[in-house]
Amino acid sequence: MASLKSTRPETPTLINIQRRRPMGSARPDAAEVPVEAPEGLHALFLRGRFPEELNVELFGGWGRLAVVKIFRGRPPHYAPWAELFGASPHLYGSPAELAIFRWIHRALPSGSNLYAEYVGDAETERQLRSGVPPPATRLGAVLLRSGFLATADMYFPEGGREGGQKIRAVRL
């Protein structure tokens, strides 16, 4: 297993989330993927299946807290998006949860989708089952505080690589 080391360089380095564009043609709202971990956490950055995909394993005092997959987009056909999955029960309701979603917010341009898996988040699961709309759930409130608007409960994944139940949110 790879050893964890601090991912906070003296001068933070940023990875441009957009594909290469000619000089002067960068979108004004183009977000960048921070190379440093969210505050108080450690991160392991791994290549994804495609050049535009980045997998980030986030670690805290309890071990691995979650995995974030960031797809930088493939203009003009595919927009950037991110997904948080494999969350530890220790993440829900912790300060690290808000820090991670704020970190993801910085990594996405406006209008991008975030898919936040809620498997294991008993409070959010209970609220959604009882008919509470996604923005009014515990997770929806955390997403809103992070700059996202929860828009839909994706409780019916179609299989394959889509993973478990999640809330879809849009970066404001």
Query: How far separated are the first and last CA of the chain, in Å rounded?
Result: 37
- Distance separating alpha carbons of residues 153 and 143, to the nearest angstrom: 13
Report percent pLDDT > 90 for the chain: 70
**Quick one: which H or E segment has residue 59?**
strand 53-60
Read off the pTM: 0.79
- All domains in the chain, ordered by first residue: 30-171 (3.40.630.30)
pLDDT tens readout for residues 54-89: 999 999 988 999 999 999 999 999 999 999 999 999
* Residue 20: count of CB within 10 angstroms of its CB: 7
pLDDT tens readout for residues 149-169: 999 998 776 666 677 899 999
Confidence of residue 36 (pLDDT cuts 50, 70, 90): confident
Strands 148-154 and 42-47: unpaired
